[in-house]
Amino acid sequence: MPHLLPLDVTALNNITAFQNLPAEILTWLSQAGELHQYMPGEVIAEAGSRADSLMAVVAGEMHYYSQIDGRPAHVFRIEQGQVGGVLPYSRFEVYQGQVVAVGETVVYLLSRHQFAALEQVSPELVQRLVSLMNDRSRDYVRSQERDDKLRALGKLSAGLSHELNNPAAAISRASAALASALQATPLLLQGLLIACPSEEAVAALTALSVLPAEAPLALSALEAADREEELADWLETQGSPDGYALANSLLEAGLTVPTLILVAALLPAAARPDAFNWLSSYLTALRLASDISEASRRISTLVGDVKTYSHMDRATGHEKLDITTGLESTLHMFDYALRQKNVRLTRRYAPDLPLVMGQAGSLNQVWTNLIDNALDALPDQGGELVLSATRQQQLLRIGIQDNGSGITPEVLAHIFEPFYTTKPPGQGSGQGLDIACRIIREHGGRLEAMSVPGRTEFVAWLPVA
């Protein structure tokens, strides 16, 4: 528990905001407030407690901690001579984090109920405190914007890491298998040449060593098993020691027993095992090379998506933009999250949409915030996300709709207010929608929200270029 200390005017001289005030103002402050002493590590304000006093640090310092992912994280500190807590005209009501004394700390407290009297006693001091509040608010907003961007980046990077890991792992596996297949090729070719096949037989064999342009028709599991067994048995009748080891790659290339019989008739019996083994190995190598190429293409596509999303290759000024390009590049960043929740995605883009003048990176931040919020609201299964873009006279209407539980009218009335959040401490700063709203206003548009149970839609209106 804090220890109440006697308060005299000299203690207030340590507060920067109180310096050079007339003696009668300092006397009033000493009579209206209290001086509390806190031990090292003692909690001055708990998360969730009501913010009801101005707090000026006479000695020591206070640190503010917020819960992020269930752990306390240091946000800022208030040192000797600085003012914190509630200030005149502030809308600060509840502590989202915890305020802790560092070292032995002495704090001057002035209840917010005294602010009206303070305004009559010293308008000059109120002006100083309002200026402090504005500076603190700007710094806090910048900090929260940075933290929100980092949190969004963390979510996106986790998904991208997963997306990049899959093709990278596929390349690693395929390259190892390809090296193994290529190492066996010289011995197989040597065995084939020793048997001295005819020129016609070699031509017929090499004619089959091409992957089909289109994948063979899909078969049922039972049909595929029957064909594999049939081909494996036939290969073993031709002298191959393990027909099943060769059958799968031959079938994937669209080769069947009737096709291979024609080639076998041209080959000496001694050459057939090495010939079909070489053919299977060569087709496997081609397929693995194709897999490596496809995985590499996927990585290049992901890098291109990131480049489009962040617009790393463009100037930061306003330019003519295709809104659907920005929406699509943002959606690509959420591919992993969409699959995780098994979200049904619907696009309703009108044809021939006009361009808008804007800053691509800023607008993509808006779409990121709105899509991220929609995903949070969706159930784990059966979720639906609808993105729409239509023209209405000289405005573009961009809608992001989800079928989550909805937003109550009480919450909807405050949804765009800065620092307003319904999420637990550490999971939301209440800045995402405020930032989105400001970005849309800076582009000459407006952001709206409408919600009923099972249907919530955020709509951005932007002027046509």
- The residues that bridge with 455 in the sheet, in sequence order, are 452
Are 47 and 58 spatial neighbours (Cβ–Cβ below 8 Å)?
no
pLDDT band at 94; cut points 50, 70, 90: confident
Question: 36 and 13: one domain?
Answer: yes
Are 404 and 377 spatial neighbours (Cβ–Cβ below 8 Å)?
yes
Q: Is residue 146 part of a domain?
A: no
The Cα 457–Cα 325 span in angstroms is 20
The Cα 252–Cα 250 span in angstroms is 5
12-57 pLDDT, tens per residue? Answer: 988 999 999 999 999 999 999 999 999 999 999 998 889 999 999 9
- Highest average pLDDT, of 11-20, 194-203, 301-310, comes from 11-20
Question: 297 and 319: one domain?
Answer: no
The Cα 310–Cα 365 span in angstroms is 9
Q: b or e along 357-380 (b: 16 or more beta carbons within 10 Å of the residue's beta carbon)? A: ebbbebbbbbbbbbbbbbbebbee
162-186 pLDDT, tens per residue? Answer: 677 778 888 888 888 888 888 877 8
Q: Is residue 368 part of a domain?
A: yes
The conformation of residue 50, written as its DSSP 8-state character, comes to B
Question: 444 and 406: one domain?
Answer: yes
Q: Is the pLDDT of residue 460 over 70?
A: yes
> Terminal CA-to-CA distance of the chain, rounded, Å?
62
How confident is the model over 410-422, as a mean pLDDT? 72
pLDDT band at 450; cut points 50, 70, 90: very high
- 70-79, 291-300, 360-369, 450-459, range with the lowest pLDDT: 70-79
How confident is the model over 248-257, as a mean pLDDT? 85
Higher-confidence residue of 8 and 107: namely 107
Question: 335 and 398: one domain?
Answer: yes
Q: Is residue 412 part of a domain?
A: yes
Tally of structural domains, the chain: 3
Question: 12 and 50: one domain?
Answer: yes
The Cα 79–Cα 215 span in angstroms is 70
Query: Which domain range does residue 424 map to?
Result: 315-463
For residue 379, the model assigns a pLDDT of: 85
Question: 326 and 455: one domain?
Answer: yes
Question: 170 and 296: one domain?
Answer: yes
- In total, the chain counts a number of residues equal to 465
pLDDT band at 212; cut points 50, 70, 90: confident
The Cα 188–Cα 196 span in angstroms is 13
Coarse DSSP helix, strand, coil percentages of the chain, rounded to the nearest 5 percent: 50, 20, 30
Q: Is the pLDDT of residue 218 over 70?
A: no
- 138-142, 160-164, 331-335, 388-392, range with the lowest pLDDT: 138-142
For residue 311, the model assigns a pLDDT of: 57
The conformation of residue 381, written as its DSSP 8-state character, comes to S
- 48-57, 405-414, 424-433, range with the lowest pLDDT: 424-433
3-state secondary structure of 299: helix
How confident is the model over 395-410, as a mean pLDDT? 90
pLDDT band at 425; cut points 50, 70, 90: very low
Question: 81 and 186: one domain?
Answer: no
Q: Is residue 373 part of a domain?
A: yes
pLDDT band at 191; cut points 50, 70, 90: confident
Cα–Cα distance list, 392 to 346, 354, 399 (Å): 21, 11, 13
Least Cα distance to 8 among 35, 39, 42 occurs for 35
DSSP result, 198-229? -HHHHHHHHHT-S--SSPPPP--HHHHHHHHH
The Cα 389–Cα 442 span in angstroms is 20
Question: 20 and 105: one domain?
Answer: yes
Q: Is residue 200 part of a domain?
A: yes
Which of 267, 302, 337 lies at the terminal end of a domain, its last residue?
302
- 130-134, 243-247, 309-313, 444-448, range with the lowest pLDDT: 309-313
Specify the amino acid at residue 150: L
Question: 458 and 324: one domain?
Answer: yes
3-state secondary structure of 359: coil
Q: b or e along 438-454 (b: 16 or more beta carbons within 10 Å of the residue's beta carbon)? A: bbbeebebebebebeee
How confident is the model over 183-191, as a mean pLDDT? 79
Query: For strand 34-38 and strand 98-111, is the pairing parallel, antiparallel, or unpaired?
Result: antiparallel
- The residues that bridge with 76 in the sheet, in sequence order, are 64
How confident is the model over 234-256, as a mean pLDDT? 86
3-state secondary structure of 462: strand
pLDDT band at 463; cut points 50, 70, 90: very high
Question: 324 and 296: one domain?
Answer: no
Question: 335 and 294: one domain?
Answer: no
- 151-160, 212-221, 259-268, range with the lowest pLDDT: 151-160
The Cα 206–Cα 77 span in angstroms is 76
Q: Is residue 130 part of a domain?
A: no
Those residues with Cβ within 8 angstroms of residue 428's Cβ, 6 or more apart along the chain or in another chain: 421, 422
- 124-128, 218-222, 332-336, 442-446, range with the lowest pLDDT: 218-222
- Sole residue written with tokens 């006009």: 354
Least Cα distance to 204 among 156, 276, 135, 122 occurs for 276
Q: Is the pLDDT of residue 3 over 70?
A: yes
The Cα 338–Cα 325 span in angstroms is 18
Which of 71, 103, 121 lies at the terminal end of a domain, its last residue?
121
CATH, residue 321? 3.30.565.10
Cα–Cα distance list, 40 to 2, 44, 71, 103, 423 (Å): 11, 11, 20, 4, 31
Q: Is residue 414 part of a domain?
A: yes
- 60-69, 158-167, 191-200, 355-364, range with the lowest pLDDT: 158-167
CATH, residue 106? 2.60.120.10
Q: Is residue 19 part of a domain?
A: yes
- The residues that bridge with 190 in the sheet, in sequence order, are none
Which of 302, 332, 361 lies at the terminal end of a domain, its last residue?
302
For residue 349, the model assigns a pLDDT of: 94
Question: Mean pLDDT in the chain?
Answer: 84
Specify the amino acid at residue 263: V
Q: Which two tokens stand for residue 282?
A: 């060569």
For residue 143, the model assigns a pLDDT of: 64
115-151 pLDDT, tens per residue? Answer: 999 999 999 999 999 888 887 777 666 666 566 665 6
